Amino acid sequence: MEKAISDQPSAIGTVAHRHRLVAVSYLNTKPLLYGLLRSEVQEELEMDLAIPSECARRLVSGEADIALVPVAVIPELPEAHIISDYCIGADGSVATVCVYGDVPIHEMTDIYLDHHSRTSVMLTKLLLQEHWKHEVTFLPAEEGYIDGIGGTVGGLVIGDRTIGLDQRFDYVYDLGAEWKAHTGLPFVFAAWVSTRSLPEDFIQRFNQALREGMDHLPELQLLLSSPHPDFSLTEYFTHHIDYDFDEGKRAALKRFLAFVEGAAG
């Protein structure tokens, strides 16, 4: 049975306590965090930052009330309420979620799977099964695994650690671009999710804070330091990351979660 995902909060009222919020600490979340930190809504939040897999773990375990999580965790939640009109997504190339290697994908015998994000891991498996139609042995990735990529061994790398790797490896497969080629859809890597209904007035303030962060994106591109001399923040924020959780991304999320649930079953 398809899991119901709510993005229309049903609870109305006043927040009686501070919501425990955890978000990804990557470069692509800076505009969203900037908006939250500048807004009065932060007074209603206990905020923390972590890698995507830890954000997911805290939401599943009940240690967080709201989290910016890899969407592959949604089927594991007893309730999943997507509470924002903003997400971490891409409509084509995303630049920071890629499989790297010295040989083409069809010559890879093994692929390291970055342990930071289950969504990217599942997307890699989906593309290998449906798009590339190629079988490999999956290797668990531990710290330093990038140095093990070589020969016929490829590696999935996500986030800020990808920056500059395109100059190190001969073959780079951008998963946002590959998903787009396979489905014609954009993709949602992470969404703001709560495990319970939240007051509608809080949802509105939360979204307004994120919107204000997005409105300051031009200034942030000037204030933030580029993590690599050849990495353009302006190009990354305006041509790779797509923050709007629009109808195309809702369709993509439904398509992707159907694969995740099938793999789990």
pLDDT digits (tens, 9 = 90+) for 198-236: 999 999 999 999 999 999 988 888 878 777 777 888 888
What pLDDT, on the 0 to 100 scale, is given for residue 233? Answer: 82
- Is the CATH number of domain 19-90+187-264 3.40.190.10? yes
| Strand ranges in the chain using DSSP code E only, listed in sequence order | 19-24, 45-50, 66-70, 81-90, 97-101, 110-113, 137-140, 153-158, 171-174, 187-194, 242-244
Q: Decide if 259 contacts 126 (C-beta within 8 A).
A: yes
β-bridge mates for residue 156, sequence order: 99
Whether the domain at 19-90+187-264 and the domain at 97-183 fall into the same CATH topology: yes
Q: How far is CA 249 from CA 85, 89, 184, 202, 245, in A?
A: 11, 8, 11, 24, 6
- This prediction's pTM: 0.88
Q: What is the mean pLDDT of residues 110-115?
A: 92
Q: How confident is the model at residue 7 (pLDDT cuts 50, 70, 90)?
A: low
Question: pLDDT tens-digit profile of 117-146?
Answer: 889 999 999 999 999 999 999 999 988 999
219-240: buried (b, 16+ CB within 10 Å) or exposed (e) per residue? eebeeeeeeeeebebeebbeeb
What pLDDT, on the 0 to 100 scale, is given for residue 9? Answer: 45
What pLDDT, on the 0 to 100 scale, is given for residue 57? Answer: 93
Question: pLDDT tens-digit profile of 58-107?
Answer: 999 999 999 999 999 999 998 999 999 999 999 999 999 999 999 999 99
Q: How confident is the model at residue 14 (pLDDT cuts 50, 70, 90)?
A: very low
Q: How far is CA 256 from CA 67, 71, 111, in A?
A: 19, 9, 21
The answer to whether residue 32 scores a pLDDT higher than 80 is yes
**Domain spans of the chain, in order of start:** 19-90+187-264, 97-183
| 78/259 Cα distance (integer angstroms) | 19
| 81/85 Cα distance (integer angstroms) | 12
**Residue 182: which of 252, 245, 96, 265 has the closest Cα?**
252
Question: pLDDT tens-digit profile of 165-175?
Answer: 999 999 999 99
Phi, psi of 145 (to 5 degrees): -65, -25
Q: Decide if 233 contacts 224 (C-beta within 8 A).
A: yes
Q: Hey, CA dihedral for 209, 212, 218, 223, is it positive or negative?
A: negative
What pLDDT, on the 0 to 100 scale, is given for residue 153? Answer: 98
Give counts: helices (H), strands (E), the chain.
8, 11
Residue count (the chain):
265
Q: Count CB-CB contacts under 10 A for residue 19.
A: 18
Query: CATH topology for 97-183?
Result: D-Maltodextrin-Binding Protein; domain 2 (3.40.190)
